[in-house]
Amino acid sequence: MFGPACIQPEQKGFRYHGFSEDCLQLNIYSPKRKTLNGNLPVMVWIHGGGYVTGSATLYDGLFLAAKGGVVVVTINYRLNLFGFFTFNNNIAKGNYGLWDQILALKWVKTNIADYGGNPSQVTIFGESAGGFSVGLQSLIPQNKGLFQRVIAESGVANSFLSVGKTNLTSILVAGDAGCRLDPLLRNFQAVLKCLRSKTPNDLLQAENTFAKGMSTSIHLGIKYAPVVDGELFSESPADILRNKNSSAFTFFSSLDIMVGNCNMEGSLLLLTNAAVEEKYHLNISTGFPNTFFCKSLIPTLSADFFQSSSKVSEAICQEYGVLNNISEQSRQVLEMYTDLFFIVPAVSTLMSHAQSKSRNTRYQYVFTERSPRPLGPPRPSWYRGAGHVSELLFLFGIEDLYLFNITVPPKDFVLADKMKAYWSNFAKTGNPNMDGLPQWPQYDVREQQYLTLNAENIWSNSSYDSRRTSFWIDYIPSLLKKHS
């Protein structure tokens, strides 16, 4: 019997088994064996959902476990206000959802042998906020021994989206719940006591009130997120990856890592709501005009992440701006989002790992196949590419699509089987390759090789999106430094 999901706004179209504050449960999928001898590799899945929604029960690990010969564990962790509320001080440090993940990993370490798993051969993997979480857990040296390998899908620790910078959302939502912080009295304890007196529904209502007040915002950060708390993290993920002498980097470099993305993660921008469309005179089905991109979206982005630099705004507009072709401009808006928040952090993470003295392995993939059951918002006619979450059905659930009267092309089943093999092989040895699969070369500093995953073909190449990666990694920082 599946347990309830953690408290969150309910999403239509997803199978939940109720909601509860008592939600820290996990699901285990073991291959059918006559004897479970405790030697099978273990894969622990951390779900995505922007740190706000999601549940372990949405991911059926049965086929991955059976075809890969691994034990698959899917876990819950507290979400939104319940998991990531913070005052950025010792009264409410935040990161409760990350502590939940660590607790689950400790449970796996202690108990998974009873289900056929090897507690010394654990891979953590996750997508989106789950990818961010996987990346963040890989920077916590206290986690040594809890896992040995990492698969980060559509999210890594040093993305601007993986961590939050302020406690403003928490303070504002607390105010909407009737628990107001006085900036002069700094009555943090009283606010916390007030919040604890509220019901879960009260807090969800406060979140809803806050969301309505922000309905016309075009800020691209995540509402709730982990923070640098002085306990799990003493500095930002980006700084950790630059500080090669830290214990956090030493732990990170001791892990085998696989990092990848869908080639159009920017499909998330298609979630732009009606209030934003009305305010900025947009119609997403038609696309994003150049004026909106260069005059509204980019200055907001620059204010949030690049010190409000007008030079950075101009550079991004010049790089991704398109005149007199709204379809191509719209695709470039999504490309910009894809590059900045997903591709570039993935490449810099891989590069940091490759530059370490570690002999551990690292692999990069780019997923380009359209999902047989597209998730998320409708795709306009101008849209191209494999959107955010497109790879998930190939790992979890493609076998069940017949229940939704969806016909899956045979080539999609073939790709799904190959992906399950790559993922489980990596969990077993740190190397995804095996006879019968297209060769996946390891990522290194010089070649920067990656694998493209597509139902028509699987092939390797070098230096994905290198010109634009250099734009963000080299040119933009030099521009900021020059004009600061």
Domain check: are 62 and 159 in the same one? yes
- Claim to verify: residue 37 and residue 139 sit in the same structural domain: yes
Residue 250 and residue 230 share a domain: yes
For 262, the enclosing helix (H) or strand (E) is: strand 256-262
Residue type at position 416: A
Q: CA quadruple 334, 336, 341, 347: dihedral positive or negative?
A: positive
Q: Report the alpha-carbon distance of residue 29 to residue 310 in Å, rounded.
A: 52
Question: Which one is catalytic: 30, 128, 154, 159?
Answer: 128
Query: What's the CA gap between 335 and 339, in Å, rounded?
Result: 6
Cα distances (angstroms) measured from residue 135 to each of 19, 28, 236: 27, 22, 12
Give catalytic status of residue 47 as yes or no.
no
CA 444, 447, 450, 456: dihedral to nearest 10 degrees?
A: -160
- Report how far apart, in Å, the C-alpha atoms of 398 and of each of 57, 87, 100, 371, 409 are: 15, 42, 29, 9, 11
| pLDDT value of position 81 | 94
Q: Is the dihedral of CA 11, 15, 20, 26 positive or negative?
A: negative
The one catalytic residue among 388, 390, 391, 424: 388
- The pLDDT assigned to 16 comes to 82
- Residues 54 and 182 occupy one common structural domain: yes
User: What gap in Å lies between CA 239 and CA 249, rounded to an integer?
Assistant: 10
Active site residue 388: yes
Angle at CA of residue 332, ends 331 and 333, nearest 5°: 90
Q: Which of 127, 153, 207, 265 is catalytic?
A: 265
Range of the domain at 37: 5-270+342-470
pLDDT for the residue numbered 83: 96
Paired residues of 26 in beta bridges: 75
The residue type found at 15 is: R
Q: Please say if 128 is a catalytic residue.
A: yes
Whether 310 and 357 share a structural domain? no
pLDDT of residue 34: 47
User: Beta strand pairing status for 458-462 and 449-453?
Assistant: antiparallel
pLDDT tens digit at each of 484 positions of the chain: 789 999 998 877 677 888 999 999 999 999 876 445 678 999 999 999 999 999 999 999 999 999 999 999 999 999 999 999 999 999 999 999 999 999 999 999 999 999 999 999 999 999 999 999 999 999 999 999 999 999 999 999 999 999 998 888 999 999 999 999 998 989 999 999 999 999 999 999 999 999 998 899 999 988 899 999 999 999 999 999 999 999 999 999 999 999 999 999 999 999 999 999 999 999 999 999 999 999 999 999 999 999 999 999 999 999 999 999 999 999 999 999 999 999 999 999 999 999 998 899 999 999 999 998 877 788 999 999 999 999 999 999 999 998 888 999 999 999 999 999 999 999 999 999 999 999 999 999 999 999 999 999 999 999 999 999 999 999 999 999 887 7
**Facing residues of 259 across strands?**
152, 364
Report the sign of the C-alpha dihedral through residues 391, 417, 451, 441, in that order. Answer: positive
Cβ pair 273, 266 in contact under 8 A: no
Number of domains in the chain: 2
DSSP track, 448-483? -EEEEE-SS-EEEEESTTHHHHHIIIIIHHHHHHHH
Cα pseudo-dihedral 52, 58, 62, 68, rounded to 10: -40
Residues 316 and 365 in one domain: no
Helix, strand, coil percentages for the chain (3-state, nearest 5):
45, 15, 45
Q: Among residues 293, 342, 283, which one has the least CA distance to residue 319?
A: 293
Same domain, 249 and 140: yes
Q: Directed axis angle between helix 96-111 and helix 129-137, to 10°?
A: 70
* Contacting residues for 467 by C-beta, under 8 A, at least 6 apart: none
- Are 257 and 320 part of one and the same domain? no
Same domain, 35 and 95: yes
Which pLDDT does position 13 carry in this prediction?
Answer: 67
Q: How many whole angstroms from its chain centre is CA 313?
A: 26
Cα separation, 56 vs 58, whole angstroms: 5
Tell me, yes or no, whether 224 and 159 share the same domain.
Answer: yes
Residue 458: both structure tokens together: 């699987």
The pLDDT value recorded for residue 239 is: 96
Is the Cα torsion angle 234, 237, 239, 245 positive or negative in sign? positive
Residues 449, 313 share a domain: no
DSSP β-bridge partners for residue 458 = 453
Looking at residue 139, what is its pLDDT? 98
Asked whether residue 176 falls in the same domain as residue 38, the answer is yes
Q: What is the CATH number of the domain that holds 250?
A: 3.40.50.1820
- CB-based contact 458:451 (threshold 8 Å): yes
Rg (CA), the chain: 22
